[in-house]
Amino acid sequence: MNQENNQRTSNTVLVLGGGIAGIKASYDLAEAGRQVYLLEKKPALGGFLPLLDRQFPTNDCNICYLSPDADKAGGARTVQTMPLTKLVALEGQAGNFTARVLTSPRYINTDRCNACGACLAACPQGAISFTPGLDTNSPTCLRYPQATPQAFAINMAKCDRCGECIKVCAPEAIDLDQQEVEQSLEVGSVVLASGAEVWDPAPMEEWYGHKRFPDVLTSLEFEQLMSAAGPTGGAFQRPSDGRRPKRIGWIQCAGSRTTKDGGNSYCSSICCMISMKEAIWAMEHFEQDLEATVFFMDMRPMGKDYELYYQRAKNDLGINFVRCRPHTVDRHEQTGDLRMTYVDDEGSLGEVELDLVVLATGFCAASDSQDQAAALGIDLSPYRFVNSDEFSPVSTSRPGVYACGMALGPQDIPGSLTQASAAGCLASADLAAPRALRREEDLPKERDLSGEEPRIGVFFVDWGKVVQEVVDSKAVEQAAANMAGVVHVETLELSYGQSGLAALEKAITDSRINRVVVAGYSPRTHGRIFAEAIRKAGLNRAYLEMANIREQDAFVHQGDSQAATAKAITLVRTAVAGVRQAKPTPSLTLPFNPDALVVGGGVAGMSAALGLAGQGGKVYLVERSRQLGGLANELARTLNGRPVAPELAELVEQVKGNPNIEILTDTLVVDHKGQVGGFITGVQSGPGMFYRQINHGVTILATGARRYEPTEYLYGQNSRVMTQLEMEKLLANGQGGDKLDTVVMIQCVGSRNDDNPTCGRICCRSAVKNALWIKEQKPDAQVFVLYRDMRMPFTSEDVYRKAREEGVLFVRYSPEQPPRVEQSGDTLEVIFRDHILGRDLSVEPSALVLSTPQIAADEDTEELCEIFRLQQGPGGFLLEDHPKVKPIDTPAPGVFAAGSVLAPASLAEARTQGLAAAGRALTLLSQMNLVLDTPVAKVNRDRCAACLVCVRTCPYGIPYINADGYSEIDPAQCLGCGVCAAECPAQAIQLPGYEDERMLSRTEALLEGVL
């Protein structure tokens, strides 16, 4: 970020790793007008995600949500995917790197391969593999229709060059003589997203019997067993004897939180959630007949609202949770069942019979992480993950190189995506100022078709061998030529490369074609490409319809040529009937205001402002109090003992010194209107409540949370009772930390209870931090931490271990038997039960410290939600667009959120989310104009009776009754689902492309000759 402007000439970022973090970073950057090289070691993109059947906490298949984004950015064609490629060396400096990369041979030319599968069937050695998610033999279904590239690869280690595959490959895509290729790429910055690996439980085989017993699986193996597309085809059977397991046990922390058996001492952070997801899945399917038990040390559902997921699993779904230390798994010789022994919470030995054991194996650094770090010239942590710190959580030791996802350590999908957007923001700052994307003025003017009869061109594109064999193309072409309105029929021989599209464009011009049918591909995969092609030829993108001859005809009716040919004619006829009635979709061009409004001047808000400054227009940073810094002003040091004040001061200085940021302290947001690209927000400043309006294109909300004021445990009544923040202040000011003889800390005060069912997320870390600090100031002080679950993710587990080594006593309490605090005269007494000793203990502490959470700033957040038309989730925090795949976006286009307004956040999280919000905002700010051309619902005001049905049915609350008394739908906000059009009793609303008459024409054409 410190580069001089004149050095920032590159517009290209190198992204290493094609898992979801790398994909997210790439597509964010592409949408922001950047060029990206996306390198992936494997033959195809995807990372872990395609291996997962479903994902917590929504338990859906979320790729369906991710892929439209990928699709959209893919249309920009600015991401160059380079599979089977790794980085060899990185030379130069931020803004001006040269990356040397090495591509291994695939032996299949991806430009030609049409993924027909003939080679897979022909290969006698099984050397041919499909891209993840597409392989019918793979543990996944096609969860990712845009899987890139859609092509096969040959494993030369298995191939004996028999040539069978070459004989059957119609597009002549196979080249067994391909060599590896080394090349140099000029890039301005690098985003490392190379992920992690699943820890191999082999060192624990003696204890847990993985590999020794077929019914002991890892989480990922269990995931495959659950998958409908998995090895058992969705039948839920245990591997040893095919019986459906009725007693399943999950063993947590297999290889994590341990210094033994080659395990990792850190916490893998997400395994608790993964096991719960798997248990919930199993329970939901076999509730009547299943006993699901999770054997754990501490349950650590760490993400936003994950605690609620845990409560649901425990209380509503009847999953058993047994707190213990698992010891060994044995197999009964006769029955084949498994027996697990463990040491329970009270120190006694337990034993349980199970049909299936799932090891919640954690994640470890990728085996090649050291090679990659050497090539990049960056430092790694002792665990071989990328070394970063709380204040620069996505930066590496080398300027211009950023990291995200599991390369930084184990984490969940929302965390990875957030870091990806943050890394993308910083990577973008090292580049030249962005070029505006897809400007309408670059395209020829749209032809005016008024008064023209439909002149339809039908183009048969890329039928490939399978289609040719099944469908009689001559018959279809002849039939098409005779359809009403068809003036031109042409077969484009070439695969959809630029030349094929050029032929299409030429035919449109030469034959004065005004409507186009493309017969061959699915509109899902190729609609956008052909829409852009006809637009280039001067036609509105809406004058296109596609007949899906490949996937929905030839491929599925291979045994019946005659019927498939007839159906192909029907599909072409339907497309012709539909396109005949096509009307142009006006593209709505709005000037895009490049300025941004950031509400909230804490760490998240300041990070967002700095992320944007210099990359778009001006940034208005609005803060309600007099000073910047937010809750971080009250923090003295981080968990690792680093002072916060100097770092915070530097952040404030950077913000104040940035010419692109206008700071408005003592300022409140009072009103807000407009849409993305053209927001107008009213603010009031200073004691005089001076009102002004700010015009801006995007909004970032980072208004933070507030501290919970405890009413429990004599807080406010006894001077020795304080919160962790107050203790921290006491320790920082040297106000008698050395006089603390005995300190008791109580966790989960004001959280994980009926009033506030969510977890405070960071209070455990605050307690450990302060406990260690007390020990530092007075080593012989006795410190008790009374806890329910110690939630210390990733390497904070090491600090937890250190605290135990330093003599801090951690004593668990159950919510049914919470600690009691009594005061009589001058004495304060804490009574709590020690589970191991099995009796009550009494301590008279010199300080009683309550670990209280940050809670939603209820009224403020409520007001904010009202002003910005957003919603609050559980606990009153701001509801994001999607908890898994859009954790930083809000449902309102152009409005993003960061920091503890979303959920209690650590410093590193606030920093990351602020940068991520800026990164997300950049995807919009790069546009000169906002061009909207997707079909949106249109109201016929003459028919509208203002009955409010549309207002009530719209899933996004977009229609409203305007001053003239009829329904109005903002085309800038409508997402085009058509629900309002379907429900409107007066049929006053139509969705272009799906108008009632057009649907009828299609139906008629589809059923022609049936009656």
- Output 582 or 652, the one with its CB closest to other proteins: 582
| Least distance in angstroms from the C-beta of 612 to other proteins | 30
| Least distance in angstroms from the C-beta of 140 to other proteins | 8
Q: How many other CB atoms are there within 10 angstroms of residue 574's CB atom?
A: 21
| Least distance in angstroms from the C-beta of 547 to other proteins | 11
| Least distance in angstroms from the C-beta of 526 to other proteins | 11
* Residue 608 Cα to chain centre, angstroms: 19
Which residue(s) pair with 744 in the sheet?
Answer: 784, 848
- Output 118 or 358, the one with its CB closest to other proteins: 118
Rounded Cα–Cα distance for residues 214 and 44 (Å): 30
| Least distance in angstroms from the C-beta of 110 to other proteins | 16
E-strand spans in 164-288?
181-187, 189-192, 196-198, 216-218, 247-254
Burial of 376 (C-beta count, 10 Å sphere; 0-12/13-18/19+): buried
Rounded Cα–Cα distance for residues 536 and 739 (Å): 78
Which residue(s) pair with 896 in the sheet?
Answer: 700, 889
- Output 61 or 714, the one with its CB closest to other proteins: 61
Length of the chain: 1011
Whether the Cβ atoms of residue 719 and residue 822 lie closer than 8 Å to each other: no
- The two tokens of residue 809 are 């006593």
Beta strands 929-932; 588-591: pairing state: antiparallel
Main-chain phi, psi angles of 705, to 5 degrees: -125, -170
| Least distance in angstroms from the C-beta of 545 to other proteins | 10
- Output 585 or 607, the one with its CB closest to other proteins: 585
- Output 114 or 681, the one with its CB closest to other proteins: 114
Contacts of residue 744, defined as CB under 8 A and 6 or more positions apart, other chains included, come to: 783, 784, 786, 819, 830, 843, 845, 847, 848, 849
| Least distance in angstroms from the C-beta of 578 to other proteins | 9
| Least distance in angstroms from the C-beta of 237 to other proteins | 17
Rounded Cα–Cα distance for residues 597 and 696 (Å): 6
Side chain identity at residue 942, one-letter code: D
- Output 284 or 862, the one with its CB closest to other proteins: 284
| Least distance in angstroms from the C-beta of 317 to other proteins | 16
| Least distance in angstroms from the C-beta of 308 to other proteins | 16
- Output 115 or 731, the one with its CB closest to other proteins: 115
| Least distance in angstroms from the C-beta of 978 to other proteins | 3
| Least distance in angstroms from the C-beta of 134 to other proteins | 7
Rounded Cα–Cα distance for residues 700 and 707 (Å): 22
- Output 559 or 779, the one with its CB closest to other proteins: 559
Q: Looking only at Cα atoms, what is the longest distance across the chain? A: 102
| Least distance in angstroms from the C-beta of 407 to other proteins | 27
> In what helix (H) or strand (E) does residue 76 lie, and over which residues does it extend?
none
Burial of 596 (C-beta count, 10 Å sphere; 0-12/13-18/19+): buried
- The two tokens of residue 657 are 């010194």
Residue found by looking up tokens 């959280």 in the block: 751
Listed as own residue / partner, the contacts of 971-977 with beta carbons closer than 8 Å and 24 or more positions apart are 971/588, 971/932, 971/936, 972/588, 972/590, 972/675, 972/676, 972/677, 972/893, 972/930, 972/932, 973/675, 973/893, 974/936, 974/937, 975/934, 975/936, 976/934, 976/935, 976/936, 976/937
E-strand spans in 933-1006?
938-939, 960-961, 967-968, 989-990
Cα-based distances in Å from 689 to 666, 686, 827:
9, 5, 49
Whether the Cβ atoms of residue 541 and residue 535 lie closer than 8 Å to each other: yes
Secondary structure string (H, E, C) spanning 865-877: HHHHCCCECHHHC
| Least distance in angstroms from the C-beta of 563 to other proteins | 4
Main-chain phi, psi angles of 643, to 5 degrees: -65, 140
Interaction site with other proteins (CB under 8 A): 58, 60-61, 63-65, 67-68, 115, 117, 133-134, 136, 140-145, 228-229, 522-525, 548, 550-552, 554-560, 563-564, 566-567, 570-571, 574, 935, 953, 955-956, 975-979, 981-983, 991, 994, 996, 999-1000, 1002-1004, 1006-1007, 1010-1011
Rounded Cα–Cα distance for residues 680 and 694 (Å): 6
- Output 350 or 893, the one with its CB closest to other proteins: 893
| Least distance in angstroms from the C-beta of 143 to other proteins | 4
| Least distance in angstroms from the C-beta of 558 to other proteins | 7
* Residue 486 Cα to chain centre, angstroms: 45
- The two tokens of residue 822 are 């009594």
| Least distance in angstroms from the C-beta of 787 to other proteins | 35
- Output 275 or 570, the one with its CB closest to other proteins: 570
Helix (H/G/I), strand (E/B), else coil: 418: helix
Rounded Cα–Cα distance for residues 1004 and 997 (Å): 10
Helices (H) and strands (E) in the chain, counts: 25, 47
- Output 7 or 561, the one with its CB closest to other proteins: 561
- Output 669 or 885, the one with its CB closest to other proteins: 885
- Output 68 or 203, the one with its CB closest to other proteins: 68
- Output 136 or 735, the one with its CB closest to other proteins: 136
- Output 522 or 695, the one with its CB closest to other proteins: 522
| Least distance in angstroms from the C-beta of 633 to other proteins | 40
- Output 935 or 971, the one with its CB closest to other proteins: 935
- Output 63 or 108, the one with its CB closest to other proteins: 63
- The two tokens of residue 18 are 């094609």
- Output 65 or 966, the one with its CB closest to other proteins: 65
Sign of CA dihedral 237, 243, 244, 249: negative
Beta strands 153-154; 128-129: pairing state: antiparallel
